[in-house]
Amino acid sequence: MTADEAAIAELYDNFDAGAQFEGSVAGNVRDPYPELARKRRESPVEGRTMTLFAGGAADGSEDVTQDAFWVYRYDDVSAVLRDNESFSSESVREMMGLVMGPYVMVGLDEPDHKRHRNLVAQAFRQRALQRWDGDLVVPIADQLLDRILARGTGEAELVRDFTYRLPVQVIAGILGLPPGDYPKFHKWALALINVTADPEEGIAASESLREYFADVCELRRKDPRDDVISDLVHAEVDGERLDEEEILSFCRLLLPAGAETTYRATGNFLFGLLSNPDQMAALMADPGLMTAAIEESIRWEPPLLIVSRRATRDVELGGVTIPAGADVVPSTGSACHDETRWGDTSEQFDIRREPQPHIAFGAGPHMCLGIHLARMEMRATVDRILTRLPNLRFDPDRAGTDPHIHGETFRSPTGLPVLFDA
Amino acid sequence: MRGEPVALEISINRETCMGSGNCSFWAPGVFDLDDDGIAFVVDIDAGPEEKIILAAQGCPTQAITLTRDGRPVE
């Protein structure tokens, strides 16, 4: 291991992934789905006051709350996300702009959004990403597994040892950051991803990343290479280019959007397989099930359960009038469990379920840009883990652990304590 | 032509297509993205109809319209 690799490893070893499941960040809820099912039945569109952060105002004196109309059924959630004229992304811009800059793509409305999206989309198409699979994602997965296997103990905690580490390394790789910069990049990345837990440190890290990416952009402008930052600084559609601040916002957005969600989704996929050994065995026996298994895991336990929009006009939805200016929260997590689409087994993880499009990646013009990258990372992760850790199973006796998927806004396993045949 | 199945027809709205690549995920071989990142039909016979229907449903901007004998297919 090089000195840089050791520095990164230490950073993650000292990071308490469990801490972020406490309290307000992810939401302190073990299973929100029974309540979401009740909402779908009884009040599918409902005005609510929600506590975002208890005692979370800057001076700690009061709760931060949000009044919003929550939307629970698949068809209604889909309608809100597809109608970006009636439902703007202004509320997202307000939330994320402070940290990521005013040009953060998830907060843009048309026509700015489409122009920005077209320019960054080229680098994230399925075909453009293929080059990263064998050259980057699989080797990172194998390096993480080498470390686990080198211990020779036949046990691991796959959140801390694997899922938490892989996506940030993938982002650093596709951005083309020099390996010597990885330790500081990872430090800032972790602080930015945890901005809701520690806003001061997160915002400071975001500023450091802005300055750092500005230097990298300058280098790639003069000397383009085969990486995403080179693609972004040279991207051109119909004579339009991204300006510097847009690129700097986008690079920072990749950390929460590309690293946090992916580590959570990958953990949920592993949790589904570990909790259902028959399905894990079926997947190992027939790798052709992998594509459907990935989609089912994302539908069953999406890493992010809600989106935010703001009504631009009075809109009638599910018999409720949403007034212009009101915030709207489509619950994509609830929509992914809608019985009218997935039947009375909608709460279950079943990789043999007949595949059909779900809405965990959103819908409409803001649908997740990273769908192909996320799928690639989830496939490589599970394929390498199942191949290299034989007879993989939960460790029933790990002291003090009660592994479960946790959270109300973001969801992922509290831990994945496993045993395998060393 | 009585008794002969009427072929499915696919049309793609190039204005609303956002180039997500979802159609080529659900029905690989039938759809692909062109150099502008806009979806097009490569070969309508490269996949079963149910996959093409999933691709249309999975389009985030509903840019794919399916018809048979002039009537919409959903």
Question: Could you report the per-residue pLDDT of A60-95, keeping only the tens digit for each?
Answer: 566 777 789 999 999 999 999 999 999 999 998 888
**Given this model, what pLDDT does residue A117 score?**
92
| Residue B33 in contact with partner chain A when CB distance is under 8 A | yes
Structural domains of chain B ordered from first start: 8-72 (3.30.70.20)
User: B25–A371: do the CB atoms touch at under 8 Å?
Assistant: yes
What confidence tier does A401 reach under pLDDT thresholds 50, 70, 90? confident
How many Cβ atoms from other residues are within 10 Å of residue A31's Cβ?
13
Residue in B with minimal Cα distance to A118? B18
Average pLDDT, chain A: 90
At residue A105, the 3 state secondary structure works out as helix
Please indicate whether residue A398 or residue A30 has the higher confidence score (pLDDT): A30
**What residues contact residue A316 under an 8 Å CB cut-off, 6+ apart?**
A322
Average pLDDT, chain B: 91
| Residue B22 in contact with partner chain A when CB distance is under 8 A | yes
In chain A, which residues have their Cβ closer than 8 Å to the Cβ of B50?
none
Nearest C-alpha of chain A: how many angstroms from B1? 33
| Residue B20 in contact with partner chain A when CB distance is under 8 A | yes
Burial class (CB in 10 A: 0-12, 13-18, 19+), A43: middle
Decide if pLDDT at A267 tops 60: yes
**Given this model, what pLDDT does residue A197 score?**
74
Q: Which fold has domain A3-390?
A: Cytochrome p450 (1.10.630)
What average pLDDT does the segment A316-331 reach? Answer: 96
What confidence tier does A59 reach under pLDDT thresholds 50, 70, 90? low
| Residue B58 in contact with partner chain A when CB distance is under 8 A | yes
User: B33–A127: do the CB atoms touch at under 8 Å?
Assistant: yes
User: A82–B25: do the CB atoms touch at under 8 Å?
Assistant: no
- Model confidence over A213-228: pLDDT tens digits? 999 999 999 999 999 9
Do A171 and A258 contact (CB within 8 A), yes or no? yes
Alpha carbon distance A44, A71 (integer Å): 6
What confidence tier does A99 reach under pLDDT thresholds 50, 70, 90? confident
**Given this model, what pLDDT does residue B46 score?**
94
Alpha carbon distance B18, A134 (integer Å): 27
Among A251, A235, A231, A230, residue whose Cα is nearest residue A118:
A235
Alpha carbon distance A254, A156 (integer Å): 28
Beta partners for residue B67, in sequence order: B9, B72
At residue A419, the 3 state secondary structure works out as strand
User: A126–B25: do the CB atoms touch at under 8 Å?
Assistant: yes
**Given this model, what pLDDT does residue A24 score?**
46
Q: Residues of A at the B interface (Cβ-Cβ below 8 Å)?
A: 82, 114, 117-118, 121-122, 125-127, 355-357, 362-365, 367, 371-372, 375
| Residue B62 in contact with partner chain A when CB distance is under 8 A | yes
Nearest C-alpha of chain B: how many angstroms from A123? 11
Structure tokens, A318:
């599910």
| Regions of chain B short of the pLDDT cut 50 | 1
Decide if pLDDT at A232 tops 60: yes
Structure tokens, A134:
């064998």
What average pLDDT does the segment A101-124 reach? Answer: 90
Smallest Cβ distance to A126: which of B21, B57, B61? B21
**Given this model, what pLDDT does residue A195 score?**
76
**Given this model, what pLDDT does residue A422 score?**
84
Residue in A with minimal Cα distance to B39? A125
Cα of A96 vs its chain's centroid, Å:
15
Sign of the four-CA dihedral A165, A168, A170, A173: negative
Question: Where do the domains of chain A lie?
Answer: 3-390
Decide if pLDDT at A235 tops 70: yes
Specify the amino acid at residue B27: A
Decide if pLDDT at A58 tops 50: yes
What confidence tier does A190 reach under pLDDT thresholds 50, 70, 90? confident
**Given this model, what pLDDT does residue A417 score?**
95
**Given this model, what pLDDT does residue A73 score?**
98
Nearest C-alpha of chain B: how many angstroms from A137? 20
| Residue B31 in contact with partner chain A when CB distance is under 8 A | no
Decide if pLDDT at A101 tops 90: no
In chain B, % helix, strand, coil (3-state, to 5) comes to 20, 25, 55
- Decide if the complex's ipTM is over 0.90: no
Alpha carbon distance A104, A23 (integer Å): 27
